[in-house]
Structure 1
Amino acid sequence: MWYWLFKFVLMGPILRLIGRPKVEGLENIPASGPAILASNHLAVVDSFYLPLMVPRRIYFLAKSEYFTGTGLKGGFQRWFFSSSGQIPIDRSGADAAAGALLSARRMLDKGELMGMYPEGTRSPDGRLFKGKTGLARIAMETGVPVIPVAMIGTDDLNPPGTTIPRLARITVKVGKPLDFSRFDGMTGNRFIERAVTDEIMYELMQLSGQQYVDVYAASLKDKKPSASDEDDRPENPAA
Structure 2
Amino acid sequence: MYGAMKVAIGGPLKLGFRPWVEGLENVPAEGPAILASNHLSFSDSFFLPAVLDRKVTFIAKAEYFTSPGVKGKLTAAFFKGVGQLPVDRSGGRGAGEAAIKSGIEVLERGELFGIYPEGTRSPDGRLYRGKPGGLARVALATGAPVLPVAMIDTEKIQPPGKVMPKLMRPGIRIGKPLDFTRYQGMEQDRFVLRALTDEVMYEIMKLSGQEYVDMYATAAKRQITEAAKAAKAADKGEKAEKADKERSGS
Larger radius of gyration: 2
Cα offset for 1:132?
0.5
Partner of 1:139: 139
Question: Between Structure 1 and Structure 2, how many residues are aligned?
Answer: 222
Name whichever of 89-98 and 198-207 sits farther off.
89-98
Cα offset for 1:14?
2.6
Q: Residue 60 of structure 1 aligns to a residue in which SS?
A: strand
What percentage of residue pairs aligned between the two structures are identical? Answer: 56
TM normalised by structure 2 equals: 0.85
Q: Is the CA contact 1:124–1:160 (under 8 Å) kept in the aligned structure 2?
A: no
Partner of 1:168: 168
Structure possessing the higher relative contact order (Cα contacts under 8 Å, 6 or more residues apart): 1
Partner of 2:25: 27
Higher helix share: 2
Q: Is the CA contact 1:18–1:166 (under 8 Å) kept in the aligned structure 2?
A: no
Q: Is the CA contact 1:67–1:74 (under 8 Å) kept in the aligned structure 2?
A: yes
Tell me, yes or no, if structure 1 residue 121 matches structure 2 residue 120.
Answer: yes
Deviations 1:4-33 (A, max 9, x none): 22322x223331233221111111010000
Q: Residue 29 of structure 2 aligns to a residue in which SS?
A: coil
Q: Residue 197 of structure 2 aligns to a residue in which SS?
A: helix
Q: CA–CA distance in 1 between the matches of 2:166 and 2:105? A: 37
Partner of 1:232: none
Deviations 1:198-230 (A, max 9, x none): 000000000000000001111121239xxxxxx
Name whichever of 106-115 and 157-166 sits farther off.
157-166
Could you tell me which runs of 5 or more consecutive residues in structure 2 were left unpaired when the two chains were aligned.
225-250
Q: CA–CA distance in 2 between the matches of 1:41 and 1:183? A: 26
Q: CA–CA distance in 1 between the matches of 2:152 and 2:27? A: 18
Cα offset for 1:162?
2.9
Partner of 1:84: 82
Q: Residue 77 of structure 2 aligns to a residue in which SS?
A: helix
Q: Is the CA contact 1:32–1:111 (under 8 Å) kept in the aligned structure 2?
A: yes
Q: Give the alignment's Cα RMSD to 1 decimal.
A: 1.3
Letter paired with 2:104: R
Change (3 A) 1:161 1:129: farther
Tell me, yes or no, if structure 1 residue 16 matches structure 2 residue 23.
Answer: no
Moved over 6 A (4+): none
TM normalised by structure 1 equals: 0.89
Could you tell me which runs of 5 or more consecutive residues in structure 1 were left unpaired when the two chains were aligned.
225-239
Change (3 A) 1:135 1:163: farther
